[in-house]
Amino acid sequence: MKKRGIALLLSLMMTASTVAGCGSSSSSDKASASSSEAPAVDASAELTLPLTDEKETITVWMANDSTAMAKNGGDYNNNPYFKELEERTNVHVDWQVPAAQTESEQFNLLFTSGELPDVMYYYPGQNISYKDGLDAAVDDGYFLDLTDLLPKYAPHYLEALKKSSENVQKAAVTDEGRYVQIYSILQTSQPSFYGYVVRQDWLDELGLDTPETYEDWENMLTQFKEKYNASAPLSPFPAWLWNLGIGMGVYSPLDFYQEDGKVKQAIVDEPEKVREFLALMNKWYTEGLIDPDFASETNPWGNSVLMSNDSTGVTCTMYTIPSALFLPSMSDDNASFSALKYPVQNKGDELKSGYVVPDTNASWVISADCKNPELVLKWIDYMYTDEGALFGNYGKEGETFTKGDDGKPVFTDVISNNSDGLSYDEAMRIYTYEPSWPGIYYDWERELQFVSEDDFKMCDTWNDFDHEATYYPAYATMNLEETAEYSDIFSDLSTYMEENLLSFVTGSKSLSEYDEFVDTVKSMNMERVIELKQAALDRFNK
């Protein structure tokens, strides 16, 4: 019997810090194809199209992509891509899509509805998850254990999994040794694609070198304010303000890090370094060097309004944004951008943390109510075949892409210069498999067709840090009891830390109260939270 009354469905509180990213991606993580972690593939398993002689319908609960929904009349089946996918597989999808920004709430309500859809989007990073963990979801009768089904009905997924990073292979297995999720998997590792950018034209006009130290940054921001009348010389997304402490040895003050396998928390383990960093940020904020409204900023890609009216000179964004969004809106034709590394205390200091690109994010889970899991798995597995991955990443050959002289796919004007006025991002969401969705062997390099070489070089700057020194793998998951205890403690604790850290920066709370703040954090059972994170990391490392 399903324990619907026992298993409360609340998503884990996710902290605002993104210093460590939410996955693992470094060349040293790559495992050999001979990994024994995944179950053996059934050599007799074959995938032929169509997947079924008679058209079958499956129900899929999926998050709301507001961009795509606005362009397809509110139905993913209106996308040319999904029309073609149905034609190839003979599988019709009945999409269940909640209103944007209600996904977490609506996901929770699924479990009281009496019947679950066949397939569900699952992503703890967006608070779309089962509070008690995947093993509990299986034990409670909600999710299907796929361990015995994958070798026969999703062998191409297993083959891709064997070629993926060691972290993904570990993450694919629950603490009880089950395969419950089906991840998207990157075909190749991706360098860090998010960080700080600066108005390079302003640096050049002022005769300033690329800033390295905190002193360099302060001088740069001060001149931006004085010489260009910038009202927000530095415009950070709140979570990314904390990354500026990395050069001081302040790692993830709202989250956790590890050093030599030992889990640490900056406020508890390095309170004086955190105090020093907060004092500097408060100084910059008081002197008008930081956007006075940064705490309420909701756009992680950078405030394009501040950028377009020359109010800011430094912001955090991803490498595709400056040329695609910032520059077209700016009146200064000479404007240009370059990437910045996080500041350090002394020239030449090595950064020991940064944004680690996850090898995967979201996943599919199949409900225990699914009447034909074999067909669903085949439908998903198609996206890991050579044909299906090519189709998913680039669309239909001859329509959305052609093959270049080197044999690599090249997008046509349907994507790159759409006659209906769709941007390339919008066009890819309509004519190819949705970016960032689960269930595909993903070729992230496809986006390089729309990015200049100079913009892509930004990733080299952001990727220049020690990927292993302090990284706590998000795939290190807790068991049922640990998850429940962690959630009970850390929900209030993370809120308390975030609110107070921001208050220290803005000055609404004096740093004279900092010691009391640290004592309160400890008293809210932070030591136990660290123990829980340590237990998860120890299991992961084994």
So what's the pLDDT on residue 143? 98
Which pair of tokens denotes residue 220? 């740069």
Spatial distance between the Cα atoms of 437 and 121, rounded to a whole number of angstroms: 8
Name the band, by pLDDT with cuts 50, 70 and 90, for residue 8: very low
121, part of any domain: yes
Structural domains counted in the chain: 2
User: Which CATH number belongs to the domain containing residue 151 in this structure?
Assistant: 3.40.190.10
Residue 292 has a CB neighbour count (10 Å cut-off) of: 11
Q: Comparing 25-29, 53-57, 241-245, 508-512, which segment has the lowest mean pLDDT?
A: 25-29
Check if the beta carbon of residue 93 is closer than 8 Å to that of residue 86. Answer: yes
So what's the pLDDT on residue 55? 98
Name the band, by pLDDT with cuts 50, 70 and 90, for residue 43: low
Round the average pLDDT of the chain to a whole number and report it.
90
459, part of any domain: no
37, part of any domain: no
Alpha carbon 506 to chain centroid, angstroms: 28
Q: Do 165 and 210 sit in the same domain of this protein?
A: no
Spatial distance between the Cα atoms of 538 and 542, rounded to a whole number of angstroms: 6
Could you read off the pLDDT of 431-458 as tens digits, one per residue? 999 888 999 999 999 999 988 888 999 9
So what's the pLDDT on residue 144? 98
Could you read off the pLDDT of 500-517 as tens digits, one per residue? 999 999 999 999 999 999
Spatial distance between the Cα atoms of 380 and 47, rounded to a whole number of angstroms: 11
Spatial distance between the Cα atoms of 100 and 208, rounded to a whole number of angstroms: 44
Q: Do 241 and 276 sit in the same domain of this protein?
A: yes
> 27-41, 152-166, 317-331: which has the highest mean pLDDT?
152-166
Looking up tokens 């509070």 gives 131
27, part of any domain: no
So what's the pLDDT on residue 420? 94
Least Cα distance to 58 among 104, 96, 88, 112 occurs for 96
Q: Do 287 and 345 sit in the same domain of this protein?
A: yes
Q: Do 347 and 480 sit in the same domain of this protein?
A: yes
Q: Do 69 and 186 sit in the same domain of this protein?
A: yes
346, part of any domain: yes
Q: Maximum CA pair distance of the chain?
A: 73
250, part of any domain: yes
Alpha carbon 29 to chain centroid, angstroms: 18
Least Cα distance to 195 among 30, 332, 339, 76 occurs for 339
Give residue 416's domain range. Answer: 50-190+359-442
Alpha carbon 49 to chain centroid, angstroms: 33
Q: Comparing 56-60, 140-144, 429-433, 479-483, which segment has the lowest mean pLDDT?
A: 479-483
Q: Do 221 and 323 sit in the same domain of this protein?
A: yes
- 216-234: average pLDDT: 98
Q: Do 184 and 222 sit in the same domain of this protein?
A: no
18, part of any domain: no
Check if the beta carbon of residue 67 is closer than 8 Å to that of residue 429. Answer: yes
**Pairing verdict, β 185-186 and 119-122:** unpaired
Q: Comparing 96-110, 219-233, 350-364, which segment has the lowest mean pLDDT?
A: 350-364
Q: Do 366 and 348 sit in the same domain of this protein?
A: no
Last residue of a domain, one of 442, 477, 501: 442
Q: Do 122 and 151 sit in the same domain of this protein?
A: yes
460, part of any domain: no
Least Cα distance to 255 among 477, 418, 490, 15 occurs for 15
Looking up tokens 């998050």 gives 63
Q: Do 295 and 434 sit in the same domain of this protein?
A: no
Spatial distance between the Cα atoms of 487 and 500, rounded to a whole number of angstroms: 20
So what's the pLDDT on residue 170? 87
Looking up tokens 């405030």 gives 303
pLDDT higher for 439 or 23?
A: 439
So what's the pLDDT on residue 37? 53
Beta strands in 139-261 (DSSP E): 181-183, 185-186, 194-199, 234-235, 257-259
Q: Comparing 87-96, 294-303, 492-501, which segment has the lowest mean pLDDT?
A: 294-303
Q: Do 491 and 390 sit in the same domain of this protein?
A: no
Check if the beta carbon of residue 223 is closer than 8 Å to that of residue 206. Answer: yes
Spatial distance between the Cα atoms of 80 and 430, rounded to a whole number of angstroms: 6
Q: Do 257 and 321 sit in the same domain of this protein?
A: yes
Could you read off the pLDDT of 166-224 as tens digits, one per residue? 888 988 998 888 999 999 999 999 999 999 999 999 999 999 999 999 999 999 999 99
Looking up tokens 């390295």 gives 212
